[in-house]
Amino acid sequence: MSREDWNKSLETLQRQLGEAEYEKLIQIPDFETFNSHIEKLCTAYADRTVTRCIRGLDSSFQSLRTFVMVVSTMVQANPAIAALVWGSILAVLQVCLSSMIMIANETRPSGF
């Protein structure tokens, strides 16, 4: 995230919430503090089991993303039969991903 992205996000949030609610919510007022905080969190959680598992699965997910794009293109060529099979496979993949995200959320520390 760049400083410009940070500032745009804060401006959008301020417009959406209004000044009073925005002031209550924002505790990290500048990009440098935000970036420093994120770096500290990355360092603190780098050796956790969940973090290592997620990093280990990253290459698998990248391969899977490529596979999804290729098969989706093939389905568009003859959607009548392929869509049924591909739809089922895609549903299973989505359930697996959702389960992994729920497990990761359950194991993260409170306050995040």
pLDDT digits (tens, 9 = 90+) for 19-31: 878 777 777 767 8
- Residue 110, classed as helix, strand or coil, is coil
At residue 40, what are phi and psi to the nearest 5 degrees? -65, -45
DSSP letter assigned to residue 108: S
pLDDT digits (tens, 9 = 90+) for 29-41: 678 888 888 888 8
DSSP letter assigned to residue 90: H
Among 31, 46, 61, the domain boundary falls at 46
Q: Percent helix, strand, coil in the chain (nearest 5)?
A: 85, 0, 15
Count other Cβ atoms within 10 Å, centred on residue 6: 16
pTM score, whole prediction: 0.38
Which residues does 51 contact at the CB level (< 8 Å), separation at least 6? 45
The reply to whether 2 and 33 lie within a common domain is yes
The reply to whether 20 and 67 lie within a common domain is no
